[in-house]
Every structure is written in C-alpha cells, then in structure tokens.
Amino acid sequence: MKDLKVIGKEQVAGYEFTGIEGGFGDGTRGMLVRDIAEIHGQPVGNINRNIEKYISRFTTGVDIIDLKQEKFAMLLKQSGYKQNQINPTKHIYLLSERGYSKLLKILEDDTAWEIYDKFVDGYFNMRKHIKEQTLPTDPLSILETTFQAIKKQKEELGHVDTRVGALEEFKKDYDENRQIDEEQVIMIEKARKSKAMKIVGGIGTNAYKEFYSDILRKKLFPDFRKHFNVNRYRSLKAKDFDEALAFIQNWKPEKEMLYAIKYSNAQTSLDIKQLA
C-alpha cells in the first residue's frame, strides 16, 4: 500500500476523476469514493455509509484502502483534498476494481453497470504489466485474456475506445449465438407437449393413443427443426426463444392428420354411446 501515487486527471466515459495507481498490486489502479459518488450522483456520505454497513465484505489492501492515515497525507493533497476537507472526514476510501464491483452490488444501481463496464475497460484494466496466462476455454475468460494481451502492447489511453468496441462486438456475437438455458428447454418441452395434447383432444381420446407420439416426433419437430435450423430443441438460439414458443403455439399439422384425428375421436364418442 505504500506505493500509491497520483497519476493525474483521467477521462473515461465522459467523466473526469483522479487517477491513482498502486496499492492493490503492481500497476493496478484505484478510484476515490469522492469520484465514485460524483459519477453515481450521490453524496459521498451516502457511499461511505453503504461501505461501512458492509465493511466486513471488503478486504483491506484488496478491495479497499482507507487513506485517512498519516502516511497518505501527501497523496490526499496531490489528489486535490484541502486540509479543511481532510480533518473533519472520518474515512477517505480508495476502491479497487473488485471493491467497486462489490459496491455496485450494495448500491443496486442498475444504470451504474453500464458505466462500470466502461471503467473496467478504460481505467482499472490499464495496467503496466500483465502476467502471461494459460489460454482458457470459456468465452468470457478468453475475452479477458485477449484484452490483457492488447493492454500489454497498447497501454496508452487512446486505445481504450478500440477495446470497448471489441468488447461490444464480442457481446453482440455471444448473444447472437448463445443457446437457450435449461429452464428455457423445459419451457419448450412443456409447450410442445401441451400443443400436441390440445391437437389430439386430451389424454383419454383415441387420437391420443394413435397420434400423440407421432405429432411430437414426426410432425411438430421436423417443422420446428426446418424453421429454426436446429437438430434438437435445446440447440435453439436464445434470441429465437420467444419466436419458438409462438411457432409451437400456432403450429398445426396437415389437413389429412387433422381429419384423421377428428375421425379417431369420433370413434371414441361412438364407442361411449354404444356402451351407454
């Protein structure tokens, strides 16, 4: 924590604040609660109260540093604090990227997440040295490693917008190709079974015995597969989920199948009358 230093005014996402480097590790950066409060449009006291309420969640030297200590007096003055601002203040906090993310969870400020993304790419992640890592396999970790490599080569602030653009492109591509989750798979399964049951007229009909299984596997699914270009329901892209539910709800078998179902169920009614 002794290696903290002010690196000057920073501009990220349209906000100006004091850049502070070190303290949380070699070349890492932190943000003053004073600047965070201004970005979020809240009083410093309110931010401090939220931190102190959940102070056990913050690890000193990892998430947070209290600069209201004698050894940080010069740093505070370099950060623009005047002595009459320092004296009455009980705590002057500096947060790391991890500390800031914890604060966001406490504040539950939805609009702040967009700002946070820009600060992660444009400020916190501008490190002097990035250690080499084994290439991961999950998409988000691959993205992180890729950006670290870019940061190592291009540390100047002018490249921030390029990295943000690359992140947005990755997210767009990820959302475009992401498959439905397990809960959505279950909803698709329920929708198709409900539709097939409705078509055959219920579980106690002749048509249920004769056609229910065929409708699910040989009629509805082939049409679904052709329409969405998938080889199974769970391969459906998440962006197509709502359309898929509407497709199932509006789907009908060919007229010949409907006639066959109607005839089969008519036989059910006839059998009941004969028994009566």
pLDDT tens column, 58-88: 898 888 988 887 577 777 777 777 777 777 7
The pLDDT, as a whole number, for residue 149 is: 56
pLDDT tens column, 117-170: 666 655 665 544 444 444 455 555 555 555 565 555 555 445 455 555 555 665
pTM (predicted TM-score): 0.42
Pair (34, 80) in one structural domain: yes
The residues near 188 (Cβ < 8 Å, ≥ 6 apart) are 180, 233, 234, 236, 241, 244, 245, 248
Pair (74, 162) in one structural domain: no
Pair (23, 117) in one structural domain: yes
Pair (145, 95) in one structural domain: no
Handedness of CA 94, 97, 99, 102 (dihedral sign): positive
Pair (190, 159) in one structural domain: no
Show which of 88, 103, 128 is a domain's final residue.
128
- CA separation for the pair 241, 244 (Å, rounded): 5
The pLDDT, as a whole number, for residue 130 is: 40
Q: How many domains does the chain have?
A: 3
The arithmetic mean of pLDDT across residues 88-101, rounded, is 84
The pLDDT, as a whole number, for residue 124 is: 65
The pLDDT, as a whole number, for residue 133 is: 45
The pLDDT, as a whole number, for residue 90 is: 85
Pair (69, 23) in one structural domain: yes
β-bridge partners, 15: 12
pLDDT tens column, 225-236: 999 998 888 889
Would you say residue 185 has pLDDT above 80? yes
- CA separation for the pair 119, 40 (Å, rounded): 13
| Type and span of the H or E element at 31 | strand 29-32
Pair (190, 211) in one structural domain: yes
The arithmetic mean of pLDDT across residues 20-36, rounded, is 79
Pair (205, 266) in one structural domain: yes
Pair (11, 123) in one structural domain: yes
Pair (189, 163) in one structural domain: no
Pair (120, 14) in one structural domain: yes
Confidence category of residue 102, pLDDT binned at 50, 70, 90: confident
Pair (200, 246) in one structural domain: yes
Question: Could you give the C-alpha distances from 254 to 219, 220, 257, in angstroms and in order?
Answer: 9, 10, 6
The pLDDT, as a whole number, for residue 14 is: 65
The pLDDT, as a whole number, for residue 252 is: 92
Instruction: Give SS3 for 64.
Output: strand
What whole-number percentage of the chain has pLDDT above 90?
20
- CA separation for the pair 120, 144 (Å, rounded): 11
Question: Could you give the C-alpha distances from 154 to 6, 126, 127, 148, in angstroms and in order?
Answer: 21, 9, 10, 10
What whole-number percentage of the chain has pLDDT above 70?
68
Host domain of residue 168: 137-177
The sheet that has 5-12: what strands, in order across it?
Answer: 5-12, 15-21, 29-32, 93-95, 64-66
